[in-house]
Amino acid sequence: MRILTPDQTVLDHVAAREAAIIGRAVDWAGINSGSRNAAGLNAMLDVLEAEARRLPAEVVRIPTQGSTTVGDDGTVKAEAHADALQITARPEAPVQVVLTGHYDTVFPAESGFQSVAMRADGALNGPGVADMKGGISVMLAALEAFETHPDHARVGWTVLLSPDEEIGSPASAPLLARLGAAGHVGMTYEPALADGTLAGERKGSGNFHLIVTGKAAHAGRAFHEGANAVAGAAIIAAALHGLNGRREGVTVNVAKISGGGALNVVADNAVVRFNVRVPDAQSAAWITEAIHEIAATPPYEGLTLDLHGGMTRAPKPMDASQTALFEAVRETGALLGQTIAWTPSGGVCEGNNLHAAGLPNIDTLGVRGGDIHSDREFAWPDSFVERAQLSALILCKLASGEIDAQRLKSLRLETM
């Protein structure tokens, strides 16, 4: 591969807009869009929709499905979610690229972390500036530049910006599955590591909530008439923790036990919340069966157990399609003087969903940054143009056929 004159024009288009690419990400980070901040999510969606309409594409809001949440008292409630934003250009083109990102963050409305500041070392420190409002800005910049390429008609693309990735994509998962099945190549804009390293294979993940219901009684007068849900939850939590170390690469993290009340009352409710990570589909099946066995047998008489949740993202191995795509991206990066490397990750993202649906994808094409999900989150300003140029050049090479999208898709389908 080499950089042709039309490709260079696309790259120059990105470089000329550096200030705007960075500036809008900084502005967006100032809009709190925590996953359950409905007002903030809608405000962010309005801004993104206005920005998307600058592209020569169809822009529509897609309603997302509802989900259920389990309260600390064991109450199961329905939860609505904000719309996703879908941006589509040339759905009839022979090559279809799916680009995804999320506009929610982990920072709730009441968080004290609400704006961007520049650190002494020049990094931008702010909520979502890396994860992933910076990534969305990079994505849109690459698409805007690619549309100036003379061969752009050979590639159709669809963008999905979702409101719920940080809580496991319960509402947008069906949309991701539909797009993943229809596309040839996926590009997702989670941040890269600070040095530009990409995530390679990813573990799968599941979130579970086990409701333990007991019987209340006076702790002094009628202790033995009660059934202590909190004590039962503790026994169950220990059993879940005991699954660690029994299968290579499988972890169970008991994150929280809630429930109970006054000290003189036998607790009649508790909730055990836990997350699992698995390296492959066989491990996912094993841990799911083990969890259901534990949830099927109350630790003592008088308790009932009700399990909610499950595996939310399948593992994403470095299969033949992923390996071939990473090599193509590495070669593309080399043309730009960028050294592209990748490393396994225990983290999960929309790339897991897309791969499970049959789509080879790179899922850390966003800005270089770090310390995400904390008030130390940062992004390097010089990475905005760098990463937008990488995405833009990938699109150029897909248009020219130097990156063979049809072959990549075929390789993925062979392993399903």
pLDDT tens track for 31-61 = 999 999 999 999 999 999 999 999 999 999 9
DSSP notation for 265-299: B---EEEEEEEEEESSHHHHHHHHHHHHHHHTS-S
DSSP notation for 354-413: HHHTT--EE-B-S-BEE-TTSTT-EE-TTHHHHHHHHHHHHHHHHHHTSS-HHHHHHHHH
Which amino acid is it at 414? E
Q: Give tens-digit pLDDT for 220-256.
A: 999 999 999 999 999 999 999 999 999 999 999 999 9
Cβ neighbours of 55 (radius 10 Å): 17
pLDDT of residue 4: 83
pLDDT of residue 171: 94
Distance CA 129, CA 153 (A): 32
Q: Give tens-digit pLDDT for 351-372.
A: 999 999 999 999 999 999 999 9
Q: Give tens-digit pLDDT for 267-321.
A: 999 999 999 999 999 999 999 999 999 999 999 999 999 999 999 999 999 999 9
Cβ neighbours of 225 (radius 10 Å): 12
All residues at 6 or more sequence positions from 196 whose CB lies less than 8 Å from its CB, including other chains? 338, 339, 340, 341, 368, 383, 386
State the residue for tokens 């026994």. 235
Count of all residues that appear for the chain in the document: 416
Average pLDDT in the chain: 97
Pull the structure tokens for residue 97: 């690229």
Cα-trace Rg, the chain: 23
Distance CA 26, CA 125 (A): 9
CA-based torsion, 251, 255, 257, 258: positive or negative: negative
| Global confidence as pTM | 0.94
All residues at 6 or more sequence positions from 105 whose CB lies less than 8 Å from its CB, including other chains? 32, 33, 34, 35, 127, 128, 131, 133, 166
Distance CA 337, CA 3 (A): 12
pLDDT of residue 310: 95
Strands (DSSP E) along 195-338, which ranges?
A: 198-202, 204-213, 251-259, 269-278, 304-313
Distance CA 157, CA 176 (A): 14
Report whether 168 contacts 106 (CB < 8 A): no
Strands of the 204-213 sheet, one edge to the other: 251-259, 269-278, 204-213, 304-313
- 93-127 exposure pattern, b = at least 16 Cβ within 10 A, e = fewer: eebbbbbbbbbbbbbeeeeebeebeeeeeebbbbb
pLDDT of residue 276: 98
Q: Give tens-digit pLDDT for 101-156.
A: 999 999 999 999 999 999 999 999 999 999 999 999 999 999 999 999 999 999 99
Report whether 226 contacts 260 (CB < 8 A): no
For residues 222 and 416, the model is more confident at 222
CATH classification of 204-313 is 3.40.50.20, yes or no? no
Which amino acid is it at 33? S
Residue boundaries of the structural domains of the chain: 5-201+317-414, 204-313
- Mean of the pLDDT values across residues 315-338? 97
Task: Tell me the percentage of the chain whose pLDDT exceeds 70.
Answer: 100
pLDDT of residue 70: 94
Query: Strand 95-102 vs strand 155-162: parallel, antiparallel, or unpaired?
Result: parallel
Nearest to 207 by CA among 51, 67, 60: 67
pLDDT of residue 416: 86
The domain 5-201+317-414 is placed in CATH, from the list 3.40.630.10, 1.10.3720.10, 2.50.20.10, 3.30.70.2740, at: 3.40.630.10
